[in-house]
Structure 1
Amino acid sequence: MKLSTTHLDHTYQFSSLKTLFAKANEEKSGDRLAGVAAESVQERIAAKTVLSELLLKDIRENPLLSPEEDEVSKIIDGQINEPVYQKIQNWSVAELREYILSSETTGEDLKRISRGLNSEMIAATAKLMSNLDLVHAADKLEVVTKCNIEIGQKGTLASRLQPNHPTDNIDGMMASLREGLSYGIGDAVIGINPVEESVESVKRLLHGTKDFLEEWDIPTQNCVLAHVTAQMKAIEQGAPADMIFQSIAGTETANRSFGIDAAILGEANELAKSKGTGTGPQHLYFETGQGSELSAEAHHGIDQMTLEARNYGFAKYYDPFIVNTVVGFIGPEYLYNTKQVIRAGLEDHFMGKMHLIPMGVDICYTNHMKADQNDMEDLGVLLSTAGVNFIIATPMGDDCMLNYQSMSYHDVATLRETFGRRPSPRFEKWLEDMGIMESGRLTSQAGNPVLFTR
């Protein structure tokens, strides 16, 4: 395995595959904070050159984090389809990139070869892609899942309605929920981030949302994004949860810092199937985001983009209904500015789709980053073009509980109308029955929460 190259009479030697992966990554403040980033543009180009010439089997046979010491690695490797892998193991990373981008390669072709890839192979390929490459490749892939309803069909753009409240006040949440629904938002999930994660609070929020969905016969899913163990206890006590949520990471040690491991997630999945209110077959919701492993001091010297890919390999094992990266939430320590946030959002979406998971994005930023709302709208345009499964929406794009900026209800409506995207089919039919939408466009009733009063 060659780990060196010469550019303009200067030889660049990389000490390990882990170092090579990190230095081939596009500029990220998190990699620089971790001390693994390329020192110059020239070194980054050299790393990409060496990476492009590696064979896929080089990557599998030299794991960045051994399956013997990390359960995430073990789960990812255990999912590789050996006959498919045997056919492509001698491809170079550059050849895999060319295959993915070829106009002759279909989405079904990508689904077939993805079964023989591990997360590091997918990350390596993304490192060689431009932003347009990432958009074009991801748009080929359709990943459809079903909890109570199906989402992810080609030509659709689903959304998570996020009616958070700074005191978990039910009336305040319901006001936001009504407004969001009146804009056609919420087919992916009605997902609440609670301030208080007690079992009683989780039960109260689940009952409040479920009662409302049943009263208005709304075809979607509810979820309260507390810690997985609190949700499990709430369900055991009779709370109506369509899905179970958990934030995950790309290493075993990072997951343990979240208070989870593979076994707990397996138990949660079985509980959701047996006692949850979702019809399935998918019952889990995962959130990720570049930099979480570094925050937990559990990155093992691996760059944040590659670790994010490992999130998706881990998530895939549980067959989730939805997954999303909260792309700019952690802050400038990991993604410093607009350029880095947009790049990370496109990388995450492509890598998730190549893992055949139902990939969404929270298009967001924190107020101390060098970014603004126009930048988030730019990323929204790119991801809509790339076929993102769903995006997250908050009132006026401002989450009053988590204190960060996201997309607004009317932003999602505008993206749908601009790019000819539709809500998921069953949800759209309900919107038509309510007079909110007609022939794929919002009516004059849109934005009127009074529709949901009797």
Structure 2
Amino acid sequence: MAYRITLEQTRFVFPDLKTLMARATPQRSGDELAGIAASGPVERLAAQMALADLPLSEFLRHDLMQVDDDEVTALIAARHDARAFAPIASMTVGEFREWLLDPAVQHDQLQALTWGLTPEMVAAVSKIMRLQDLIAVAAKRQVVTRFRNTIGLRGRLSTRNQPNHPTDDSLGIAISAVDGLMMGSGDAVIGVNPATDTVADYIRIVQLLDDIRNHLEIPTQSCCLGHVTVALKAIEAGAPADLIFQSVAGSAKANTGFGIDLALLREAQEAGLSLKRGTLGDNVMYFETGQGAALSAEAHYGTDQQTMEARAYAVAREFRPLLVNTVVGFIGPEYLFNGKQIIRAGLEDHFCGKLLGLPMGVDVCYTNHADADQEDMDTLLTLLCAAGVNFVITVPGADDIMLNYQSLSHHDAIFARETLGRPPAPEFATWLETVGLTAADGTLRAASPALTERLSGTGLLEAAP
């Protein structure tokens, strides 16, 4: 089915829904690389106007990717709830935008709508929204998850303490983790991206992180971000795994490139649940996504990268994760060229994830060959705090020495806490005050004798094999 619109005496014809969605997408280098972007701002505007007039129900009548036997597409169709969709079933994409922005529409209505939405619907409405629209709507929606603490409460910001090390050295990881904890980072998770992906290293890393958590009595969770198959073998060997991690994407072919499918993720979730390590809840999964993942795997089937990203959220929400984050600028300038595109994509991803019921975080980041800098990241962090992001990732000095990219620093989290008024998870905030890291008003202290005493004699910061 073709979609037509006349703008400035020029008639634009979009041969199918996939093309219309791609042409309506705000400018980004990935869609230009794929050859599916609008030819310029006029065609983009025409596509956005045509998209605004499109009934939401079109997304239920048409398979956007038009690929046989794609299990992500089948999952989206199977999970669509017609009764939840009913309140907006007669709306166009443009009318849906106006409904979302209506001050009378708040968290309860958005929560009730969750399973009535498909990823393509939320991607479509995001394409005709300004940044402030994406922020305003996302800020209404809370998604709360629990393992050993409570993440996603209104007005709070959690952080992932990311103590990566280029050789997975135990002492290096431990020192970096404690450095982050001393600055109040780590209530979402203390999570290490391993430089290697062996079962032995996975077990060593999760055991080290679990020892730190236990010795310091921290109400948080840890994770080694190894491949899910490695995690399953480590769990069989008795590893103290809290969260099970995996990168996911929006098509079966892209997920196959990651070495996974839905059945494997179900097995991983069941394994994590069987350990019963959560004290407040049983959200055991942690997923990462990122615009451009499907395109880089040649598994996007001509679909724009932001819609493919939203489809990845359908995979993630199937498994009730504790955490989901988009690594928004990590894949590189081939997909998000500069700071402006990264900022836009981060807010889109957060908006789409929240509407689909995910506990969305963002790795506010960029690679060193992108046309972006730390001031762009300051901007995105501040906007995400306004939008109610569940968590962000912080590393020492904003420079990840293992993955070789730029993220946020622990100091950036302090700025969010003390200037923007975004305290951590309540259980973690209590711990920070108990060990003397923060004052009663939540501001960070220069030193914590109580925490230093807890660390002394534990051997955690001594050389380890």
Alpha-carbon distance between aligned partners in 1 of 2:77 and 2:214, rounded to the nearest angstrom? 42
- Once the two structures are superposed, residues 185-224 of structure 1 have per-residue CA deviations (whole angstroms, 9 ceiling, x without a partner) of 0000000000111000000001011011101111100100
Alpha-carbon distance between aligned partners in 2 of 1:341 and 1:451, rounded to the nearest angstrom? 42
Matches within 5 A, 1:325-404: 325-404=326-405
Report the 3-state secondary structure (helix = DSSP H, G, I; strand = E; otherwise coil) of the residue aligned with 1:411: helix
Q: Is the 8 A contact 1:179 1:448 kept in 2?
A: no
2:445 counterpart letter in structure 1: T
Instruction: Specify the alignment match of 1:82 in structure 2.
Output: 82
Instruction: Specify the alignment match of 1:445 in structure 2.
Output: 447
Q: Is the 8 A contact 2:435 2:448 kept in 1?
A: no
Instruction: Specify the alignment match of 2:99 in structure 1.
Output: 99
Instruction: Specify the alignment match of 1:37 in structure 2.
Output: 37
> 5+ residue gaps in structure 1?
none
Instruction: Specify the alignment match of 2:57 in structure 1.
Output: 57
1:181 counterpart letter in structure 2: L
1:315 counterpart letter in structure 2: A
Report the 3-state secondary structure (helix = DSSP H, G, I; strand = E; otherwise coil) of the residue aligned with 1:319: coil
Instruction: Specify the alignment match of 1:9 in structure 2.
Output: 9
1:20 counterpart letter in structure 2: L
Instruction: Specify the alignment match of 1:170 in structure 2.
Output: 170
1:162 counterpart letter in structure 2: Q
Q: Is the 8 A contact 2:2 2:16 kept in 1?
A: no
Report the 3-state secondary structure (helix = DSSP H, G, I; strand = E; otherwise coil) of the residue aligned with 2:417: helix
Q: Is the 8 A contact 2:216 2:451 kept in 1?
A: no
Alpha-carbon distance between aligned partners in 2 of 1:86 and 1:144, rounded to the nearest angstrom? 25
Instruction: Specify the alignment match of 2:463 in structure 1.
Output: none
Instruction: Specify the alignment match of 1:430 in structure 2.
Output: 431
**238-247 vs 434-443, which deviates more?**
434-443
Task: Tell me how far 1:65 sits from its aligned partner.
Answer: 2.6
Task: Tell me how far 1:450 sits from its aligned partner.
Answer: 4.5
Instruction: Specify the alignment match of 1:136 in structure 2.
Output: 136
Alpha-carbon distance between aligned partners in 1 of 2:234 and 2:312, rounded to the nearest angstrom? 26
Alpha-carbon distance between aligned partners in 2 of 1:156 and 1:162, rounded to the nearest angstrom? 19
Instruction: Specify the alignment match of 2:421 in structure 1.
Output: 420
Alpha-carbon distance between aligned partners in 2 of 1:105 and 1:405, rounded to the nearest angstrom? 37
2:227 aligned with 1:227:
yes
Alpha-carbon distance between aligned partners in 2 of 1:332 and 1:64, rounded to the nearest angstrom? 26
* Alignment coverage as a number of residue pairs: 454
Instruction: Identify if the C-alpha distance between structure 1 residues 86 and 224 changes in structure 2 by more than 3 Å, giving closer, same or farther.
Output: same
**311-320 vs 241-250, which deviates more?**
311-320
Alpha-carbon distance between aligned partners in 1 of 2:454 and 2:424, rounded to the nearest angstrom? 19
Task: Tell me how far 1:440 sits from its aligned partner.
Answer: 2.0
Alpha-carbon distance between aligned partners in 2 of 1:217 and 1:344, rounded to the nearest angstrom? 37
Q: TM-score, normalised by structure 1?
A: 0.98
1:440 counterpart letter in structure 2: G
Report the 3-state secondary structure (helix = DSSP H, G, I; strand = E; otherwise coil) of the residue aligned with 1:278: coil
**Percent of aligned positions that are identical:** 48
> 5+ residue gaps in structure 2?
457-465
2:216 counterpart letter in structure 1: W
- Once the two structures are superposed, residues 128-153 of structure 1 have per-residue CA deviations (whole angstroms, 9 ceiling, x without a partner) of 10011111111001110011211100
Q: Is the 8 A contact 1:148 1:242 kept in 2?
A: no
Alpha-carbon distance between aligned partners in 2 of 1:265 and 1:148, rounded to the nearest angstrom? 22
Where in structure 1 do 4 or more consecutive aligned residues deviate above 3 Å?
446-452
Q: Is the 8 A contact 1:291 1:304 kept in 2?
A: yes
Task: Tell me how far 1:86 sits from its aligned partner.
Answer: 3.4
Q: Is the 8 A contact 1:182 1:447 kept in 2?
A: no
